[in-house]
Amino acid sequence: MALSRSFLVTLFSAFVVGGFSQLTPTFYDETCPDVTSIVRGIIEEALQADRRIAASLVRLHFHDCFVIGCDKSLLLDNTETIVSEKQALANSNSARGFKVVDDIKIALENAYQLKANFLNQGLDSADLVPLSGAHTFGKARCQTFGRRMYNFNNTGSPDPTLKTTLLQTLRQICPQGGDGSVVTDLDRSDSGRFRRQVLLQSPGREWTSPN
């Protein structure tokens, strides 16, 4: 059965811009009013070059959203230390349509500049990633950073980049073998303000700080 272009547009508007809200044709009317026409244009152009791409895009969506996810992790590329889902055995040379998704993302970013919005608030692109991830303010559970205090990279020792005073403070709050659900401030000086100080360790190394 042929898939309608309207279905594909709705599907990939959610996939690329997406979140966890219910799908509705009017969801982005205020924040991104041209999203449907932008996505439609990219998909129609892709269909002209490859008639199979419609089925491939639906399959791509299925692999990300129906197998413990819908977090778009399937779109991530490999790094020096991490093998992504994109290059995993089940998906390598199998899942396809990534370029179409990338083209959609680029078109949407060109239309609605997130960086420009940050600049308007006095923030730069280096601030964008940690602030978007909310890893610079608020609180975190001990279990999310315990390895940095006691067994960094399976060495049996703390993260050498942690300051001694900070390590001692954190170990008092989060003793080894203690309650991992205990929470503490991400920023020891002021958890309500955005600063370039991060307690959590990121697998992708988006941001690091010894403070």
Residue 76: give its domain's CATH number: 1.10.520.10
* Domain end point (choices 89, 112, 135): 112
Maximal C-alpha separation, the chain: 64
Low-confidence ranges of the chain (pLDDT < 70): 1-23, 67-69, 114-115, 125, 128-137, 187-211
The verdict on whether residue 71 carries a ligand-binding annotation is yes
Q: Do 160 and 185 belong together in one domain? A: yes
Question: 134: domain CATH number?
Answer: 1.10.420.10
Instruction: Determine contact, residues 113/149, Cβ cutoff 8 Å.
Output: no
* Whether 139 and 88 share a structural domain: no
Nearest 5°: the CA angle 47, 20, 72 is: 50
User: Are 186 and 139 a contacting pair, CB within 8 Å?
Assistant: yes
**According to the model, what pLDDT value does residue 72 have?**
76
Query: Where does a domain end: 112, 145, 178?
Result: 112
As a 3-state breakdown, the chain gives helix, strand, coil percent values, each rounded to 5, of 45, 5, 55
The residue segments making up the domain with residue 194 are 120-211
Residue pair 140/186 in contact (Cβ under 8 Å)? The answer is yes
| Number of domains composing the chain | 2
- Sign of dihedral through CA atoms 83, 87, 90, 91? positive
* 95 and 135 inside one domain: no
Query: In the prediction, which pLDDT does 28 show?
Result: 80
- Given 112, 142, 158, the domain boundary residue is 112
69 is in an annotated binding site: yes
Cβ-contact 71, 61 below 8 angstroms: no
Residues 48 and 97 grouped into a single domain: yes
Task: Kindly list the catalytic residues.
Answer: 63
CA–CA dist 104, 41 (Å, integer) = 9
Count CB-CB contacts under 10 A for residue 84. Answer: 14
Q: Give residue 103's pLDDT.
A: 92
Please indicate if the annotation marks 100 as binding a ligand.
no
- Give the tens place of pLDDT for each residue, 51-70: 889 888 888 888 777 766 67
Regarding whether 98 and 9 lie in a shared domain, the answer is: yes
11 and 88 assigned to the same domain: yes
According to the annotation, is 184 in a ligand binding site?
no
Structure confidence at residue 168 (pLDDT): 92
pLDDT over 70, % of the chain: 69
DSSP letter assigned to residue 195: -
130 in Cβ contact with 181 (< 8 Å): no
